[in-house]
């Protein structure tokens, strides 16, 4: 039987702060990203070296998407989207390295079974991290909405529906849908990464018994390992793209009331009102 713990295991405490093994995973990913940024930032030149151009591939891929769908002010929130994407990508792929989730100390559970408490656990296989990231995303899209529309414009957009008599019906739905973004963002990432870990462990446990007859124990988990590489990329992309879409929506709400109390950029407003007129 595979030992599965839905919460991250506690390793040690520094004062009131409990350090869990998924915090170690998140810290490793951050340290890796920061040191890569320092290393390559110092060597930045107009003609990229081979290693730099490989590292620029994911950035260029995402930059094309953000430029294409982020609206006119994509430069403002592009760093946040890149940051979320790169952190989650590194954290997800780091959790697939051998040793993560397998090297640890032995402990005896309440039912007498012995299991391993790993030193490093996938960072996103802990609801605390994914909920924290979702809160960052939530605060940023509310903040960008206020920044683009002003406090009054934002509150009006949030609380008053388009035909005013529909307000009592539509406003609760609107509020719930805003808040449910928090839950769906965090649960999606947590569920995918955690299920990936459990899936790999289960596949390995299922095929270990065949080790002396067929090399299934090498083939079957390998297939799912490749699948997990893909899922790690897709989930990082989905989290970043959804954050970007929410921010873009919050900024673009201005278009419906263009020229009321906030003067946006002139070409953008003209294009938006033309779009609004044709819609």
User: Binding residues for another protein, per CB under 8 A?
Assistant: 4-7, 65, 68-69, 184, 187-188, 190-192, 194-195, 198, 234, 237-238, 241-242, 245
- Smallest gap, in angstroms, from Cβ of residue 101 to another protein? 16
* DSSP-assigned states of every residue in 206-266: HHHTTTTT-THHHHHHHHHHHHHHHHHHHHHHHHHHHHHHHHHHHHHGGGGGTTSS----H
Burial class (CB in 10 A: 0-12, 13-18, 19+), 13: exposed
Which backbone phi and psi does 36 adopt, to 5 degrees?
-65, -40
- Smallest gap, in angstroms, from Cβ of residue 21 to another protein? 17
In order of 68, 87, 128, 133, 237, the CA distances from 92 in angstroms are: 26, 8, 15, 14, 11
- Smallest gap, in angstroms, from Cβ of residue 253 to another protein? 18
For residues 58 and 150, which CB has a smaller minimum distance to another protein in the complex?
A: 58
Q: Are 187 and 197 in contact (CB under 8 A)?
A: no
For residues 5 and 265, which CB has a smaller minimum distance to another protein in the complex?
A: 5
Which backbone phi and psi does 2 adopt, to 5 degrees?
-80, 135
For residues 7 and 159, which CB has a smaller minimum distance to another protein in the complex?
A: 7
- Smallest gap, in angstroms, from Cβ of residue 249 to another protein? 12
- Smallest gap, in angstroms, from Cβ of residue 259 to another protein? 29
For residues 135 and 211, which CB has a smaller minimum distance to another protein in the complex?
A: 135
For residues 22 and 149, which CB has a smaller minimum distance to another protein in the complex?
A: 22
How far is residue 250's CA from residue 269's CA, in Å, rounded to a whole number? 15
């Amino acid at each position: 039987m595979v030992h599965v713990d839905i919460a991250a295991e506690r390793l040690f405490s520094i004062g009131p702060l409990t350090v869990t093994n998924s915090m170690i995973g998140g810290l490793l990913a951050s340290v890796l990203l920061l040191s890569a940024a320092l290393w390559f930032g110092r060597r930045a030149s107009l003609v990229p070296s081979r290693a730099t151009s490989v590292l620029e591939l994911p950035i260029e891929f995402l930059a094309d998407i953000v430029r294409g769908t982020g609206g006119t002010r994509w430069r403002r929130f592009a760093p946040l989207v890149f940051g979320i994407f790169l952190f989650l990508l590194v954290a997800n792929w780091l959790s697939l390295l051998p040793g993560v989730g397998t090297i640890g100390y032995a402990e005896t559970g309440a039912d007498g079974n012995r299991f391993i408490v790993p030193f490093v656990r996938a960072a996103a296989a802990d609801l605390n991290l994914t909920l924290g990231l979702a809160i960052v995303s939530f605060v940023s899209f509310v903040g960008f909405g206020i920044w683009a529309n002003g406090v009054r414009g934002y509150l009006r957009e949030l609380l008053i529906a388009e035909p005013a008599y529909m307000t009592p019906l539509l406003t609760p739905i609107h509020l719930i849908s805003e808040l449910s973004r928090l839950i769906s963002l965090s649960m999606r990432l947590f569920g995918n990464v955690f299920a990936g870990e459990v899936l790999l462990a289960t596949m390995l446990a299922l095929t270990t018994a065949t080790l002396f007859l067929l090399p299934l124990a090498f083939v079957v988990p390998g297939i799912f390992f490749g699948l997990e590489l893909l899922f790690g990329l897709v989930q990082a992309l989905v989290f970043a793209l959804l954050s970007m879409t929410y921010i873009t929506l919050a900024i673009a709400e201005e278009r419906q009331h263009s020229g009321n109390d906030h003067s946006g950029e002139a070409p953008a407003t003209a294009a938006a009102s033309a779009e609004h007129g044709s819609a």
